[in-house]
Amino acid sequence: MYTGFHYKNGWFFERLTDPTNFGSVKIYHVTKDHVDSEIIIDPHSWASIIASVSSQSETGYTYTLAKAFHGIYG
């Protein structure tokens, strides 16, 4: 079973909680009941992505907000 948020057309997003990848985001694509591609994005890069696509674009402030929203401290 796939536990991530299903966006559409088989694309899923999942925030990882295991100790090795805590806070990372896994994006994967499912076709015919198997994962055909996936990528894991580290928490700081994910916060940068979120800040970059925000209406104010990425600044130090929006990056800090995105980190806090995602639970990244430091």
Q: How far is CA 8 from the centre of its chain?
A: 16
32 and 65 within one domain = no
> Global pTM?
0.87
- What phi and psi, each to the nearest 5 degrees, are found at residue 22? -55, 125
Other C-beta atoms lying within 10 Å of the C-beta of residue 46: 21
34 and 1 within one domain = yes
The pLDDT value recorded for residue 3 is 86
Boundaries of domain holding 72? 43-74
1 and 32 within one domain = yes
pLDDT tens-digit map of 14-62? 999 999 999 999 999 999 889 999 999 999 999 999 999 999 999 999 9
- What phi and psi, each to the nearest 5 degrees, are found at residue 31? -135, 135
